[in-house]
Structure 1
Amino acid sequence: MFSRLPRTTIPTISQSLPHLTRTTRAPALLRAPLSRSINTTLPRSAKYERFPSGYSSSPGSSGGGGGGPDVWQYFKRRLGGDRAVWVYGIGVGGGGLYYVTHLERVPETGRLRFMDVDEAQERELGHQTQLQTLSEYSRAVLPPNHPTTKRVRAVATRIIESSGLGRVKSGGEMGAVEGKVPAFGGGEDVGEILFGGGEGGKEVREGKETEWEVYVIDDKNTKNAFVLPGGKIFVFTGILPVSANDDGLATVMGHEIAHQVARHPAERMSSVKVLFALSFLLESLGLDVGITRLLLTFVLQLPNSRKNESEADFIGLRLMSKACFDPHESTKMWQRMSASEEGRGLPTDFLSTHPANEKRIKQLEKWMPDALSIRAASPCGNTSNYYSGFMDSINPVSPYSKGIW
């Protein structure tokens, strides 16, 4: 039988907390809604900083004004930490050593340059370009026995053989080019040509002298001529009216042959690797991709291209003078080129791969005394003065006449 527990009196809230009775009201601050937030720091305006504030330019030192992270710490974060810094350092050091050990001087001018492409790779790439060019202009290539082709080949023969650069194939030897034009994604890989490993280069090493081939493309709208590695000369008929005569054509062909003599195509192939490495390094350090490309283009690529063109002008002037062509015609040819462009050329060469025509003319005039001395010392003597007349007699239709095009 259960007994009832004694009744216990439980105090109410109002009894235990007399100060919070019903008649007691909370202060107005507690009842009023919050109208604003409470800030514990002073307001600041946004400010862009390329590097953290208080940076220092030397590793291991904290900058003044708060001891924030320095530039070294910033680059370390960009590269990916201490281990990445070591990897990049080894890579940069190895690349610099490779660059220095592959420097050489151009024999004709003494200019120092970077070169890591051998002649076999250079010639193989030239052969591939030759096949592609002939495929593109297959219907416009003049036959070897055409009067224009004969005249152009005669000028090339004088320049090449007088300087001991090899021999020019005759019209009878200029048959169909054997080989298949590589399709996209097929044929020999360009990377193998640039970095070695191509099979075509092994065959080129066996040759003891260059056998030059001359192709004339009937395209009056193209004022151009170029020489591919391995001695493949291409002349467009559009350049003949600007050349005007054999001496003017010798200026053009001497310039293009000089590119091959100085191995400028191989130099450009080598410089692509340097530009790629520098671009990768600058982008790794946080520089914008567009800014990197513009910087390398205007600081390295375009100036080197203009330097190669001026060097080809210098060497080409000497080549044509040694072949007993008149070097004075070189300046006249570039004057005609300027007139044919009708103001379409840039007034400055800063944005161009070629020097301005006015600059080229001044440089040729500066080199003229040396060219005249070479011509006077050449073994051809006065016989060359009658060479153009002789060619006119056997080829009555001049290839330089604008009317035949």
Structure 2
Amino acid sequence: MMFAQLSRTALTAARPTLSARTTALPSIRPTLITRTIHQTSLPRSPKYERFPTDHGGSPGGGPTGPTGRPDLWSYFKRRLGGDRAVYVYGIGVGGAGLYYVTHLERVADTGRLRFMDVDEAQERELGRQTQLQTLSEYNRALLPPNHPTSRRVRQVATRIIEASGLGRVKTGGEMSAVEGKVPAFGGGGDLGEILMGGGEGGREVAEGKETEWEVYVIDDKTTKNAFVLPGGKIFVFTGILPVSANDDGLATVLGHEVAHQVARHPAERMSSMKVLFALGFLLESLGLDVGITRLLLTFMLQLPNSRKNESEADFIGLRLMSRACFNPTESTKMWQRMSESEGGSKGLNVDFLSTHPANQKRINQLEKWMPEALQVRAASHCGQTASQLGGFLDAINPVGTYSQGIW
């Protein structure tokens, strides 16, 4: 009996202790939960920070309070591989910048500043290799040098080139000898010689010979194009002749293409590719996506520079054709015909995705330059020698318009 009473008393005394433990648990659990959350959040937070944050005035960050500014210097060091890598990159960027500045030059006809580190020997040798490849590709479509259309194109090119003192154009007989030497499947050439300025093109520049231009006409009515390779190699597709319509229109096309070579735009493009490669490598090293890097360089540098070169060739070409006594006002009409042949809208001026300016922009620019072109034409002697040569060719080959030639 006494034992039962003592046990009941002990149970009664023990209950408050159990109750106290029970009520104490809620006050302990929040502390444990808070501590657990705090411990798991620390290693995960850097995943959501692209740039490390500077939490103090010291370089490594201090307890003085957050500034909220991204620590770019620490990010660059981490991306590049440490302090030593940063120094190496800094020396490389500084050397590249010095090399860039020391290879800047101005275009003679426009005064535009550009980067150029390709010499004329390299440029001509690369042009010679492209010439052999083009002749091999269109070997069966080449018109004979004495074909009426070839003579007419060569006559216009002769007036443009000789009026500006750019050299001489090979005659039909000389062109026959040149075409007889062209290999059926293109020419060879050591890549080292090309890049180091060797080979046939390099010897021609080293000897200081006058440029001898060669005119090739390719019978391809579907291709509305013409181009000039370094070293004076002119290629004209017959598809461009209906668009040019007359001698003045063809002079617009040939003047533009010859102007590319006068301003050495092919060499400029080869030089700019090195700059684009270096910038792309640097941006990718800093963590920028490869696709985004290429898009930025294409839309911000490559395409705008290409359109700038085209506009510059329009300006120089207009002066070349005017100096040769062609009618510069025909240039705007030619580009209007080109726009119509391409099915484009006359008022469409969107060209940020293109390597060439919009046709209407070209027309507007040509109209702006027209007064100066007319002055150039009026100040020239209108090429009496070229006119006499043209009369002689017309006498031995009486062709009124291009439509009577090949199509």
Q: Same fold (TM over 0.5)?
A: yes
CA separation of 1:182 and 1:242: change in aligned 2, threshold 3 A: closer
1:62 corresponds to 2:61: yes
Residue deviations 1:353-380 (CA, integer Å, cap 9, x gap) = 1011101011111111111111111112
Structure 2 letter corresponding to 1:150 = R
Q: Distance in 2 between matches of 1:274 and 1:55?
A: 38
- 112-121 vs 38-47, which deviates more? 38-47
Distance across 1 between alignment mates of 2:55 and 2:389: 74
Amino acid at match of 2:59: G
Counterpart amino acid of 2:221?
K
| 1:231 paired to 2:232 | yes
In structure 1, give the amino acid aligned to 2:267.
A
- Match of 1:139, SS state, is helix
5 Å matches for 1:1-400? 40=35, 41=37, 48-54=48-54, 60=59, 62=61, 65=66, 70-174=71-175, 175=177, 176-178=180-182, 187-189=189-191, 193-194=194-195, 196=196, 198-204=198-204, 205-343=206-344, 347-380=349-382, 394-398=396-400, 400=402
| Deviation digits for residues 371-396 of structure 1 (CA, Å, limit 9, x no counterpart) | 11111111127998999888666544
**CA contact 2:52–2:74 (8 Å) conserved in 1:** no
**Distance apart, 1:178 and its partner CA:** 4.3
Q: Secondary structure at the match of 2:114?
A: strand
Matches of 1:253 and 1:356, distance apart in 2: 19
Do 2:159 and 2:386's aligned partners in 1 also have CA atoms closer than 8 Å? no
Identity of aligned residues (%): 76
SS at match of 2:235: strand
CA-CA distance at 1:66 after TM superposition: 8.0
3-state DSSP class of the match of 1:267?
helix
Could you tell me how far apart the structure 2 residues matched to 1:313 and 1:132 are? 27
**Cα distance, 1:216 vs structure 2:** 0.1
Question: Counterpart amino acid of 1:52?
Answer: P
Bigger shift: residues 345-354 or 266-275: 345-354
Superimposed CA distance per residue, residues 65-116 of structure 1 (whole angstroms, 9 cap, x where no aligned partner):
2899821111101001111111100000000000000000001111100000
The corresponding residue for 1:8 is none
Render the CA deviation track for 1:40-75: whole Å, top value 9, x for unaligned.
32586988332134479x993638528998211111
Equivalent-residue separation in structure 2 for 1:59 and 1:357 (angstroms): 58
Count of equivalent residues: 373
Equivalent AA in structure 2 for residue 289 of structure 1: V
Structure 2: gaps spanning 5 or more residues: 1-17, 22-31
TM superposition shift of 1:224: 0.1
Structure 1: stretches of 5+ with no match in the other structure: 1-26, 30-36
Q: Which amino acid aligns with 1:307?
A: K
- Determine the structure 2 residue equivalent to 1:401: 403
CA apart distance, 1:203: 1.2
Change (3 A) 1:171 1:197: closer
Q: Which moved more, 1:384-393 or 1:256-265?
A: 384-393
Corresponding residue for 1:32?
Answer: none
State TM-score, norm by structure 1. Answer: 0.82
The answer to whether the 8 Å contact 1:243/1:333 transfers is yes
C-alpha distance in structure 2 between counterparts of 1:159 and 1:381, whole Å: 9
Query: Cα distance, 1:286 vs. partner?
Result: 0.4
Find the aligned partners of 2:234 and 2:51 in 1 and give their Cα distance.
54
Quick check: 2:248–2:327 contact (8 Å CA) kept in 1? yes
Q: Which has the higher helix share?
A: 2
Counterpart code for 1:131: L
Judged with a 3 Å threshold, the aligned counterparts in structure 2 of structure 1 residues 316 and 59 are, in CA distance, closer, same or farther, namely farther
Contact in 1 for aligned 2:349/2:361 (Cα 8 Å): no
Q: Residue 241 of structure 2 contacts residue 250 of structure 2 at CA under 8 Å; is this kept in 1?
A: yes
Matched residues in 2 for 1:114 and 1:313: separation?
21
More deviation, 47-56/252-261: 47-56
**In 2, Cα distance between the equivalents of 1:342 and 1:279?**
36
Q: Could you give the per-residue CA deviations for residues 321-380 of structure 1, whole angstroms, max 9, x where no partner exists?
A: 000000010000000001101128974111111011101011111111111111111112
